[in-house]
Amino acid sequence: DSGVTQTPKHLITATGQRVTLRCSPRSGDLSVYWYQQSLDQGLQFLIQYYNGEERAKGNILERFSAQQFPDLHSELNLSSLELGDSALYFCASSREGFSYNEQFFGPGTRLTVL
């Protein structure tokens, strides 16, 4: 158990819908990273937050957004969902804001868009 929690574990929804994925980092970790893993694209870095502020942005679509709240949990919002958004979404946390810090991964949320 990494100490990082993600909810929900599974999510099935329809095209055009909007969903919110939630991540709680390990106690004391200030940084949260979001990743997407799909069958055709593999793992991709989406976005990083550090202590409530966006630190780095990767291949995140404009239909997706994220935020980190004062209690350091983070939410990833996916809107106008398409079939191709079906994937595993992981969050990870680290103590500081630098990506060369060790990261601890959550169990992931499996999103299926029908």
Partner 1 sequence: KNEVEQSPQNLTAQEGEFITINCSYSVGISALHWLQQHPGGGIVSLFMLSSGKKKHGRLIATINIQEKHSSLHITASHPRDSAVYICAPLLNTGNQFYFGTGTSLTVIP
Residue 100 interacts with partner 1 (CB under 8 A)?
yes
Cα gap 9→29, rounded to integer Å? 22
The H or E element containing residue 109 is strand 109-113
User: Given the rule CB under 8 A, which of 22-30, 61-69, 76-84, 104-112 is the region that contacts partner 1?
Assistant: 104-112
Residue 102 interacts with partner 1 (CB under 8 A)?
yes
User: Which CB, 52 or 108, lies closer to partner 1?
Assistant: 108
Q: How many CB atoms lie within 10 A of CB 109?
A: 21
Residue pair 67/20 in contact (Cβ under 8 Å)? The answer is no
Residue 52 interacts with partner 1 (CB under 8 A)?
no
Nearest to 32 by CA among 85, 87, 106, 107: 106
State the number of binding residues for partner 1 (CB under 8 A).
24
Residue 97 interacts with partner 1 (CB under 8 A)?
yes
Give how far Cα 15 sits from Cα of 7, 43, 112, Å.
Answer: 20, 22, 10
User: Given the rule CB under 8 A, which of 12-20, 37-45, 66-74, 75-83 is the region that contacts partner 1?
Assistant: 37-45
Residue 40 interacts with partner 1 (CB under 8 A)?
no
Q: Which residue ranges make up the site for partner 1 (CB under 8 A)?
A: 2, 42-45, 48, 55-56, 58, 88, 90, 92, 97-105, 107-108, 110
